[in-house]
Homo-oligomer: A and B are copies of this chain.
Amino acid sequence: MISFETAFQKVMAFATDYGTELVPLKNASGRVLAEIIAADRDFPPFDRSTKDGIAIKFTSHTISNRVYSIAGLAQAGSPQQELLDTGSCIEVMTGAMVPKGADTVIMYEHLSKSEDGRSFTLEQEVKKGQNIHYQGSDTGEGESLLPTGTVLGPAEIGVLASVGKSMVLVKKLPRIAVISTGNELVDVDQTPRPYQIRKSNVHSLQALLGKEHVVADEFHFQDSLEKLKQELQSVLDNYDVVLLSGGVSKGKFDFLPEAFEALGVTKAFHKVLQRPGKPFWFGRHNTSNTVLFSFPGNPVSTYANYHIYFIPWLNKTLGVHAPGFDVFLDEALANTTDLTLFIGVSTNLENGKLIAQRISTTGSGDLLALAKYDGFVKIYPGQKIEKNALVPFVPTKPLGE
């Protein structure tokens, strides 16, 4: 049986570039940018007033009590006006172009208006050039704003909008099939017989993939070798990635490895020195290059291996840099096995520190414990951990939520 590290490297070696596609801006949230976004003009595109007030030409006479007669009004979204002399001013609104000939903006709060409404008097000292957001001061035209590989969050969507990207080139997501196996499984809306249970893993996997913006198709395969082979062939023809749960243990009806082999899927490994998730089968089809993550059927193993293997594989596939991090484990722990252990924990941010606390569980069938996990801490074979030591962390929920 291979070590966790070897298994992980083999999975990562099959990261695949699925190319790029153009999507409308409103569907780009959460996707990974596949082009360099450059400024299509200066930002701001013009000398922009940052206050509501008046624009003047600064001279040595621009001092308190100086009076300026009102020569015009510049609204945001209107063409540039022109200030013709140093004794006049043009009223300017926030976001408006500073008038030609003006170089300084004074906010209303620092002015008093004459009774006839035709002039303003300065009531405070003025600094030449104040209250102007200068053309190109954020970025110059042509400058790179967002690099490829950027995950497009709300702020990035705002940047894309401001440079006119109504269509955005993003990394294509793999076409994914999620497959449950096992004759004991019935659908959610069915009443199980005493020896049956309802499907849950495929629903969890769909929800997990949804967070990665993948809409996966769902299949259920019965435990019959011939049927498995037929149905799997069609999946291999139509999908880039297959996530399976169940059917890869030592049981008499665990036909998947045999079906994989018969259909030309080359095994990278089967079984890993880890707990949970040991009977994990991983491979790739010889011609279609479809990648198969075949997880053990119990909920904890499928959930753990999805986060341990699939998410890093997907990040590498999409070119997303997601550095790992450590957490403090609030108890001492000794791993006396030859397995890499992944222990479900909840995490808390206490005084700026990320503290992990073990969640008690009845074992790898314990679906309920999963809902309490924020992630898994990783303990190496033979490793002894002191209380409050830093240990590597595999998150399963966003931190701080």
How far apart are the CA atoms of A112 and B325 in the complex, in Å? 45
**Residue of B at shortest CB range from A196?**
B77
- Chain B nearest CB, measured from A20 CB (Å): 20
How far apart are the CA atoms of A182 and B94 in the complex, in Å? 10
- A selection of 22 A-B contacts at a CB cut-off of 8 Å is A25-B188, A43-B367, A52-B251, A75-B223, A77-B185, A77-B195, A78-B184, A78-B195, A94-B249, A153-B207, A154-B303, A158-B207, A159-B200, A161-B203, A162-B197, A164-B189, A164-B198, A166-B188, A325-B352, A349-B354, A351-B390, A352-B390
CB neighbours (8 Å) of A137 from chain B are: 362
Stretch from A138-146, A169-177, A332-340 that touches the partner: A138-146
Per-residue contact bits, chain A 204-235, to B (CB 8 Å; 1 contact, 0 not) = 11111011000000000001000000000000
- Chain B nearest CB, measured from A22 CB (Å): 13
How far apart are the CA atoms of A362 and B352 in the complex, in Å? 28
CB neighbours (8 Å) of A328 from chain B are: 352
Q: Contact check: which of B153, B161, B252, B399 meets A93 at CB < 8 Å?
A: B252
- Chain B nearest CB, measured from A12 CB (Å): 19
Task: Give the residues from 222 to 277 in chain A that come closer than 8 angstroms, CB to CB, to chain B.
Answer: 223, 249-254
CB neighbours (8 Å) of A390 from chain B are: 351-352
Contact in complex: B401, A400 (CB < 8 Å):
no
Copies of this chain in the oligomer:
2
Contact in complex: A159, B25 (CB < 8 Å):
no
Contact in complex: A189, B166 (CB < 8 Å):
yes
How far apart are the CA atoms of A151 and B156 in the complex, in Å? 26
Stretch from A59-67, A113-121, A282-290, A368-376 that touches the partner: A368-376
Given contacts A52-B249, A253-B75, A253-B93, contact A164 B191 (CB under 8 A): yes
